[in-house]
Amino acid sequence: MRNRIFIKLLAAFLVVILAAAVIFDVTIGRAWQASLRAEIERTLVEKTELVAHRVETDRSHSLADIAAQEGHAAGARVTIIDPTGHVLADSEANSANMENHASRPEFSAALAGTIGRNERRSTTIGTPFLYVAVPISGGAVRLAYPLSDVEAVSTELRHNLEWTTAAVFGFAFLVAAIAASWSARRLERIVEVAGRIADGDLHARILEKSPDEIGRVAGAIDKTAVRVEQSFAEVRSSQRQLETLLNSMQDAVIAVSDDGLVQWANQPMDRLVPQRTRLHQPVVETIRDPDFLATVREATATRKVKTARATSIVPGRTFDVTAAPLPGGGAVAVLRDLTETERVEKTRRDFIANVSHELRTPLTSIQGYAETLLDSTPDHGAPNREFLEIIRKNSGRMSRLTEDLLTLARVESGETRFDVEPVPPSEILHDAEESFREIARAHGIDLHINIKDAPVPETLPMVLADREAIHQVFSNLIDNALKYGATGGRVVLGARTVPHAVEFFVQDFGAGIGSEHLPRLFERFYRVDKARSRESGGTGLGLAIAKHIMLAHGGSIRAESELGHGSTFLFALPNA
């Protein structure tokens, strides 16, 4: 890893340094050579002008001498020509043997009055020269400088430059290697610490102090690690709190993954099962109760809260199981032990049933004697008759109350066995109508079966019902409709199909019930108008009994009402 970063950095530096060296070498070398050439040319022009001046002014020496002397002094070849191009003197050749020079580019420029320059191979000597010619009166003077000298200087210059570049390159390479190694080491540390953090070591820190980019990356990683460590600690602390809370509960709690493995369980759960909870094992190895398992499976599959009663988790104990789906899949189940609650409930029911039963005989006796006394009391003994009437009325009420209490206790406890069979809804409806038609008429109320807005009862599917019990439900509802909805003048019975059931209804057109009372209407002893209920001989138990009969049938019951527009009581019986 380190080598890879180091080599990449070094390679990048190397490319940059090489490019810089090449550019430096080429540009500086060229510029230097150009300036050297310009300098040589300038000096040659100056020297040529000086020689020209001497040729024009020196009358004491021959042209050949001047050419020889000046050529020696300048380290260049000197050639003097007349205006026709005929060579008058030359420092290195015999002028007599030399051809006419008027056509040489530099001489032709000088003879035209300007300074002539040219660079070529000499036909006389055969080597490359730089020629400069200046005009003089009566011809022109030319100096020729061998370019081999210039090239020698240039070569030396290039060598110097190359050495310098190599030295600079070497130094730069050393600095680059140190910088690359330093950066690579810092990056390596970052990678190493990041790896440790990823592996779960949240205490690992890079601790870079440098303010550069690498330092800033290191700082950001350190900061992230601190944050993650803090969040982790918070999560762990709240997890511990939750565990403590769940362990201190009385209910047993167990979490199951969507593939049916136990994920977690609280201590009450551990205490509940003799073999203790088997974590990460199929839940069936911990709890075998089929109702419990089905509830957990359903909650997992449907993502909805499901409840059930389980009786075989611990022999002799009943549990209420509530399974709720977990956000990440699977479900959590809460097991509440109902054994004690059910025992208390049963005791309460038994007590009520016993008291009611015990009161039955004395109450019948009181009622009987009051009636006998009433029969034997003459009309003129009016005050006594009035007292006896009160005794008879109240003992009758108490008798009804105990009867209703007994009925309710028996239905609730399951003691009353319902003889459930497929029954045509029309039969149930006609029975109810026949039983109450005359009573209703006596109250001045019209009781009839609705066939206008509801289907003809004969067309409805069979329902599962105990005829007598359902007749009692109808009796309670019609009785209430006659008592509390009499002002409407009519009571309508009917039935219609709903999904998987037939819904029967009793509708009156009386005063109706306020919506605030509807949710509590089926509670025992709940009365909307207490005085009216008592006066009409009601016990406050009629609807509670109807509700329990319906529950025992696997059906449901509800009320719809609007003040001033009457009430409708509806109950549904499952299809046969």
CB of 498 to ligand ADP, least distance (A): 21
CB of 352 to ligand ADP, least distance (A): 16
Q: Is 396 in the site for ligand ADP (CB under 6 A)?
A: no
- With CB under 6 A as the contact rule, the residue among 539, 548, 555, 570 that binds ligand ADP is 539
Near ligand ADP in 453-482, by CB under 6 A = 476, 480-481
Q: Is 447 in the site for ligand ADP (CB under 6 A)?
A: no
Q: Is 540 in the site for ligand ADP (CB under 6 A)?
A: yes
Q: Is 542 in the site for ligand ADP (CB under 6 A)?
A: yes
Q: How many residues would you count in the chain? A: 576
> Could you give the CA distance from residue 286 to residue 309 in angstroms, rounded to a whole number?
17
Q: Is 570 in the site for ligand ADP (CB under 6 A)?
A: no
Which segment (219-227, 306-314, 324-332, 536-544) binds ligand ADP by CB under 6 A? 536-544
Nearest to 467 by CA among 475, 459, 478: 475
The smaller minimum CB distance to ligand ADP, of residues 440 and 481, is found at 481
Q: Is 568 in the site for ligand ADP (CB under 6 A)?
A: no
Long-range contacts: 155-163, Cβ < 8 Å, 24+? 157/29, 157/32, 157/33, 157/36, 158/29, 161/25, 161/28, 161/29, 161/32, 162/25
> Could you give the CA distance from residue 53 to residue 133 in angstroms, rounded to a whole number?
13
- With CB under 6 A as the contact rule, the residue among 319, 330, 508, 547 that binds ligand ADP is 508
Would you say 484 and 500 are in contact if contact means Cβ atoms under 8 Å apart?
no
Q: Is 513 in the site for ligand ADP (CB under 6 A)?
A: yes
CB of 451 to ligand ADP, least distance (A): 22
Q: Is 494 in the site for ligand ADP (CB under 6 A)?
A: no
User: ∠ at Cα 349 (348, 355), nearest 5°?
Assistant: 90
The smaller minimum CB distance to ligand ADP, of residues 37 and 437, is found at 437
> Could you give the CA distance from residue 44 to residue 297 in angstroms, rounded to a whole number?
108
The smaller minimum CB distance to ligand ADP, of residues 158 and 527, is found at 527
CB of 558 to ligand ADP, least distance (A): 12
Which segment (287-295, 409-417, 438-446, 526-534) binds ligand ADP by CB under 6 A? 526-534
Q: Is 5 in the site for ligand ADP (CB under 6 A)?
A: no
The smaller minimum CB distance to ligand ADP, of residues 138 and 537, is found at 537
The smaller minimum CB distance to ligand ADP, of residues 132 and 481, is found at 481
- With CB under 6 A as the contact rule, the residue among 266, 402, 407, 533 that binds ligand ADP is 533
Q: What is the contact mask toward ligand ADP in residues 195 to 214, using x (rule: CB under 6 A)?
A: --------------------
DSSP-derived pairing of the beta strands 446-449 and 128-136: unpaired
Phi, psi for 279 (deg, rounded to 5): -65, 145
Near ligand ADP in 306-335, by CB under 6 A = none
- With CB under 6 A as the contact rule, the residue among 139, 485, 488, 494 that binds ligand ADP is 485
> Could you give the CA distance from residue 24 to residue 273 in angstroms, rounded to a whole number?
87
Residue partners of 491: CB distance under 8 A and separation at least 6: 440, 445, 446, 447, 478, 481, 482, 485, 506, 507, 508
Q: How many CB atoms lie within 10 A of CB 266?
A: 23
Q: Is 484 in the site for ligand ADP (CB under 6 A)?
A: yes
Residue partners of 70: CB distance under 8 A and separation at least 6: 47, 50, 51, 54, 78, 91
- With CB under 6 A as the contact rule, the residue among 76, 528, 549, 550 that binds ligand ADP is 528
Beta strands in 370-528, from DSSP E residues, in sequence order: 421-423, 446-449, 463-465, 490-498, 501-508
Number of residues engaging ligand ADP in binding (CB under 6 A): 22
> Could you give the CA distance from residue 204 to residue 228 in angstroms, rounded to a whole number?
12
User: ∠ at Cα 456 (455, 461), nearest 5°?
Assistant: 80
Phi, psi for 410 (deg, rounded to 5): -70, -40
Contacts to ligand ADP by CB under 6 A? 476, 480-481, 484-485, 508, 510, 513, 521, 526-529, 533, 538-544, 567
